[in-house]
Structure 1
């Protein structure tokens, strides 16, 4: 489905009901708005894992401006601020008054920016594998997980080298290290193939957006309850960075969980534990 938000149409999909029968009445459940990473990917990596969240919430998958099946728009509007405002406009258009924003990887930057810019419109915030570690911190993890080749490939990719050979080396050598599941990620190859990428958005992130994210300096503006999830062996959004993120949310009731033995994207890496934590967090009794 698509909905018009200002100058564009955003693609979204819905899983589960917000209203469910409860005796003689109807009970409301929280609505989770899922914000994908990339940037430039789409919502498909959330599927099928997030189907289990429909046991306690309504789930909305959203392709952000410029990504997936949403309109491309203009590169000048591919920004953290515009993406964050799009999320709130989207929730207004669908009459979602109290969204729980769930952001994974760079989607967490969008969710965080929405909570900073619109503190009265975000009920709860879930940040999964979000804040990047310091450069040497990330390279050290890549080397520990994949050796010197992984470290050097990551260094060259993050430094902005744009040759096709570098992107291929990144996808071949570094991306598999995002998962630390025993025996590997059985759906990893197919999941990457399912994504409708806009590589122009990803390149804009590498060359412009990554260095212009100022969320670190504005964490004290987040006021809603926040769940911070991180993988112990995440080579990008490192565990120490998750601790710094939680410490910076000084005006939000914050729950930090670093899941042992996991990599990037804890809902895929350890679904049993992460969805248990999510269920507990969105339960109204935890307000």
Structure 2
């Protein structure tokens, strides 16, 4: 991967990096709540680049090395506008937009608010904001109230525990890579909890996007796991039903994670959809 850089977007700076050839179409990856650009696995990004895309991943506001906003209130709309602003800063007119979890919500809003900037949309393990769909399993909620890890080792142990509950049942986790990335994420943002809470507030304040998704006119694929306890597969089905012509890819045994064994299905669905765009 190329080195991390910073782009000024409005009143904040977004940390990002890029892999792929300059002349290839851009694919921007948006990560979920409290997660960072490093949570898009390097090898996953390289496979997308090998498929012919210039891949941009970045830290959302209040995560990683992007600007943190203590005391601020903002919306998912603002975060979608951040993504459009990053494209402006990079001199990119339009991009294939891929989002996971909260990042899927932001990607959906990119297609709603900035339709001319989105060449294709891939919404992973996400939902529409409609009540009653995409619910979180009660067994997962206990992790939201755990105390903040104070050391790298506590952070690693906590993530292993969390993904024992939210991770895939049909694919083997790469625990060594999980520990490595968790260590890197802790070093990049040791006080991540406050920013995660502000992002969570933005998610909770978001409305139902179902009606607006009905106006999305770009090729869309919705990818979800059958074993996702963080966001029930009904959220993915609702998203695919809302977007005209969207394709729904349900992966058996996939949870709320990106295990290497599922990459062929996930990357294949993303790139096949992008080819339509």
Q: Shorter-normalised TM-score: what interval?
A: 0.7 to 0.9
| 1:88–1:114 Cα contact (<8 Å) kept | yes
RMSD: 2.9
The corresponding residue for 1:34 is 29
- Asked whether 1:226 is paired with 2:220, we answer yes
| 1:259–1:266 Cα contact (<8 Å) kept | no
1:165 shift after superposition: 8.3
Match of 1:272 among 245, 264, 270: 264
Consecutive unaligned residues of structure 2, counting only runs of 5 or more, are: none
Deviates more, 1:214-223 or 1:111-120: 214-223
Report SS of the residue matched to 1:96.
coil
The corresponding residue for 1:95 is 91
The corresponding residue for 1:204 is 198
Deviates more, 1:80-89 or 1:126-135: 126-135
Cα distance between partner residues in 2 of 1:84 and 1:126: 14
- Asked whether 1:61 is paired with 2:57, we answer yes
- Asked whether 1:84 is paired with 2:84, we answer no
Consecutive unaligned residues of structure 1, counting only runs of 5 or more, are: 20-28, 143-150
- Asked whether 1:9 is paired with 2:13, we answer yes
Equivalent residue runs for 1:96-245 within 5 Å:
96-131=92-127, 138=135, 142=137, 151=138, 153-156=139-142, 162=145, 164=147, 171=159, 173-180=161-168, 181-186=170-175, 187-195=177-185, 196-197=188-189, 198-206=192-200, 208-214=201-207, 215-245=209-239
TM-score (norm. length: structure 1): 0.79
The corresponding residue for 1:148 is none
1:77 shift after superposition: 4.7
Cα distance between partner residues in 2 of 1:233 and 1:60: 28
> Aligned in 2, Cα 1:138/1:73: closer, same or farther, shift over 3 Å?
closer
Cα distance between partner residues in 2 of 1:164 and 1:2: 31
1:176 shift after superposition: 2.1
Cα distance between partner residues in 1 of 2:20 and 2:232: 32
1:87 shift after superposition: 0.8
The corresponding residue for 1:145 is none
> Aligned in 2, Cα 1:273/1:157: closer, same or farther, shift over 3 Å?
closer
1:130 shift after superposition: 1.2
1:53 shift after superposition: 0.7
> Aligned in 2, Cα 1:3/1:210: closer, same or farther, shift over 3 Å?
closer
1:184 shift after superposition: 3.2
Q: How many residues align?
A: 258
> Aligned in 2, Cα 1:232/1:266: closer, same or farther, shift over 3 Å?
farther
1:15 shift after superposition: 0.3
1:64 shift after superposition: 1.5
Report SS of the residue matched to 1:271.
helix
Deviates more, 1:52-61 or 1:128-137: 128-137
Cα distance between partner residues in 1 of 2:54 and 2:133: 39
Highest CA radius of gyration, 1 or 2? 1
1:205 shift after superposition: 3.8
